[in-house]
Amino acid sequence: MARLNLGVLVSGGGSNLQSILDKSASGALDADVRLVLSNKPNAYGLERARLAGVPTACLEHASCPSREEYDREMVRLLEEHAVDTVAMAGFMRMVTPVFLDAFHSRVLNIHPSLLPSFPGVRGQGDAAAYGVRLSGCTVHFVDEHMDNGPIIIQAAVPAMADDDTKTLGSRILEMEHRVYPQALQWLAEERLTIQGRQVVVQEARPAASPAGTTVTGALVNPGLENGF
């Protein structure tokens, strides 16, 4: 097992970044956040990084003539900080093979729905509007398609008849903050193997209701381990 040298990509508030920073600081997650990179200069995730003493960078869309050139510049910045693993945490851009080839099978994303249902930027709102009874979040490896790569872990939470984007989203977010650091820890422990569309987690715990959560009826598969 080796510590991950993480680059975290953010476009907004960065609450998942904060959960990664907190789990790293507590010793539950074997990772050092080496750079927080945003495509938006006012993203609060950058401020979270500064408060934690983590280097930051902002690369705006207009600075590059193409998506590929943008991704090459992101790779350059991340490699300057010796990043070996990338966590997309509310980063509102798709990445190209230029980026994925630089960090082969080392780019993860979290999405606020039970993929493959409700991909895209309105996952929580689309699920609430559809009237689902269960929603949740998914951590997956990233490929060149939107919200499509092999799934590592999912957490399911109840969806209520009167839910909207905010109420359902807050229930999902509580679980996001637990499953994302857990998936990264499995990667640090070299326990993840991709077999086609399946991700095998060595010695995975069976699906379980997570302890210490206020989300009644939440279910996580594979089960969370101590510290998460």
Asked whether 219 and 158 are in contact (CB, 8 A), the reply is no
111 is catalytic: yes
Asked whether 175 and 159 are in contact (CB, 8 A), the reply is no
Question: What whole-number distance in Å separates Cα of residue 180 and Cα of residue 89?
Answer: 9
Q: Which residue has the tokens 């508030």?
A: 13
* 201, HSE (Cβ side, Cα atoms, 13 Å): 23
Residues 6+ apart with CB under 8 A from 215: 157, 158, 171, 174, 175
Asked whether 108 and 140 are in contact (CB, 8 A), the reply is yes
- Tokens found for residue 30: 């074997």
- Which among 149, 141, 136 is positioned nearest to 186, based on CA atoms? 141
Residues 6+ apart with CB under 8 A from 205: 222, 223, 224, 225
DSSP state, residue 118: S
Per the residue annotation, which of 111, 140, 145, 177 is the catalytic one? 111
Enzyme catalytic residues? 111
